[in-house]
Amino acid sequence: MSMKRKPPTGNVRRVISLGNNFRGVTTNKQGHLVQFESEQERKLILV
């Protein structure tokens, strides 16, 4: 039995900081909400 890890449409999970990480939510080039938890992840989204 496989389990899907995606939330239902319109139900967006928010990131939780693990320590002193920089976290947030932004919109990618396709217009989807993307969550990040570090400066490195944010840079990858913006590239």
Domain extents in the chain: 19-47
Better-predicted residue by pLDDT, 11 or 39? 39
Rounded CA-CA distance 29/3 in Å is: 28
Rounded CA-CA distance 24/29 in Å is: 16
Nearest by Cα to 28 from 42, 45, 10: 45
Rounded-to-10 torsion of CA 30, 31, 33, 37: 60
Local confidence band at 3 (pLDDT 50, 70, 90 cut-offs):
low
Eight-state DSSP code of residue 29: T
Minimum mean pLDDT among 13-17, 25-29, 38-42: which range?
A: 13-17
Average pLDDT, the chain: 74
